[in-house]
Amino acid sequence: MGVVPEDWIPRLAVAVAAALREYSAWRLRGKPVVAFDVGCFPWHGSVELSLLTADELDTDPALQEPGELAAWHHYNFSAGLSSWDPESELGRQMAEAYQAADNEGSRLATVDTFLRACAEAIARPEVTEALGSLVRDARFQIRVAHPDNGRQFWPPGPADGAA
């Protein structure tokens, strides 16, 4: 992937799995989840994990809209978790790659590359296992979307990010 360090994807996967386990054990308490969103922001050097519960969505269907993510009760749940500490180094590496891009086209390509890397991390077995430990509603979905234009990078593969 060029700008993504070789160990970045597996390190992110381990951190995501640990954050999901840590958070769900003490905050979700068996509440069914309908969405898991991975926010990837190379220009800020951050990755945010968010969950939407079935109760929230049933109460307010507008929460399924991408622009309503910050209204989720479990928005950016990973912030402050001890298991999420490795994200600061991963975020730093992402920001460095973004800042090193020498033109707008390169920066846009760097963003897409890190979105693909995030999707690949979420597809790894350790994350799949952690997601499997959640009570998932029949409507459950994973989202790894470009924050500016909404292009979806989940599931990962050759067509990811296609409009």
pLDDT digits (tens, 9 = 90+) for 64-84: 998 899 999 999 999 999 999
Query: Would you give the DSSP letter of residue 144?
Result: -
Q: Reply yes or no on whether the pLDDT at 159 is more than 70.
A: no
For residue 158, name the pLDDT band (cuts at 50, 70, 90).
low
Between CA 6 and CA 4 the distance in angstroms is 6
Region 48-70 average pLDDT: 96
Between CA 64 and CA 117 the distance in angstroms is 24
Question: CB neighbours (10 Å) of residue 80?
Answer: 8
Helix locations, 24-103, DSSP H: 54-59, 87-100
Rounded to two decimals, what is the model's pTM?
Answer: 0.93
